[in-house]
Amino acid sequence: MNGMTGMEKFSHLEDKIYLTIEFAKKMREEHEHMEKEVSALRRMVHDLEQEKTRLAGRIESLLSERDAIQLKVEAMLDAMTIIDTEVAEAVGR
């Protein structure tokens, strides 16, 4: 910049100011884009948390149903054992 005239220095400064303005605009646009993306991701996380809660409830319901069925099957097997014993005793007589 040593050999530059006053007008050249001013023009150079003007170019730097315009470049800085363009950079600031670009940063603002990127910031707005990131805010939108963060907002969308937050909505997704919220939806996934709700789905997780719903599925956890469904799993709990299915496990309870399974336990109830298991108890019924065991009761039926016990009843069949008693019947088998009575049939074996009746046949053995």
Q: Which of 11-25, 32-46, 58-72, 74-88 has the lowest mean pLDDT?
A: 74-88
At 3, which helix (H) or strand (E)? none
| CA separation for the pair 36, 42 (Å, rounded) | 10
What pLDDT sits at residue 47?
A: 98
Q: What is the mean pLDDT of the chain?
A: 93
Are the C-beta atoms of residues 18 and 25 closer than 8 Å to each other? no
Residue holding tokens 């009761």?
A: 75
pTM above 0.85, yes or no: no
Cα–Cα distances (Å) from 87 to 73, 82, 83, 93, in that order, read: 21, 9, 6, 10
